[in-house]
Amino acid sequence: MAALYACTKCHQRFPFEALSQGQQLCKECRIAHPVVKCTYCRTEYQQESKTNTICKKCAQNVQLYGTPKPCQYCNIIAAFIGNKCQRCTNSEKKYGPPYSCEQCKQQCAFDRKDDRKKVDGKLLCWLCTLSYKRVLQKTKEQRKHLSSSSRAGHQEKEQYSRLSGGSHYNSFSPDLALDSPGTDHFVIIAQLKEEVATLKKMLHQKDQMILEKEKKITELKADFQYQESQMRAKMNQMEKTHKEVTEQLQAKNRELLKQAAALSKSKKSEKSGAITSP
């Protein structure tokens, strides 16, 4: 009986071939908990639930520092403290200021001064390095698939040639499938797909940033209009109150003038009466 091995998630036992190479997960756990990219830092992690779109580290940082901002270097939305993400901050301390990435042309590639750590001699940023490695991995898998399929076809043709008695099929070589220009096309297509996916993600991030800024501008405009209307209403009220007070003072002044005129008139009449009485 073949040995069985436990899945690291559900702990049920399966044959070794049925488990994934990296984390030793069964097929059901791989479907239920796929490896996805974090919305913020773009690192791959095991998704616990479909609603969970950020890794545990970013979730902790969100609770401590709030929603992150785009990094001023790599433009990844992972700058929880300041204007740079932790990856670029650490790389800048270790390797100095960033250079232009030869793939995405952003100023976010750090020169490690070691050609062995470059990807095919190119100075790439972190995201482009991951994309390039994925392309190489897919190319290897496609080459392996082509090699196996070509060998199977070669064996079928040899068998057919033996049965038919012909010999012209024996000149077919499986290496021709690997050396053909089609494999280079696979590499180019895979690279272009990765670049398109990266550009789409960057465009989506830019759109989100623009939407947030437009939302903030709209809120500021609404607040400004509200403050302006409040100020105008207050000024109108003050002007109305000042006008009412002025009218009251003018009316009181007229009343006092009338009283003063009446008093002066009564005094003159008293004086004239006192003169005529002897």
Q: Which residues of the chain have pLDDT under 50?
A: 160, 163-183
pTM for the structure as a whole: 0.45
pLDDT for residue 148: 65
Q: How far apart, in whole angstroms, are the C-alpha atoms of residue 132 and residue 76?
A: 18
Q: How far apart, in whole angstroms, are the C-alpha atoms of residue 164 and residue 197?
A: 50
pLDDT for residue 168: 37
Segment 196-210, tens digit of pLDDT: 888 888 888 888 889
Q: How far apart, in whole angstroms, are the C-alpha atoms of residue 230 and residue 235?
A: 9
Segment 28-74, tens digit of pLDDT: 777 777 878 888 888 888 777 777 788 889 999 999 999 899 999 99
pLDDT for residue 172: 37
pLDDT for residue 178: 37
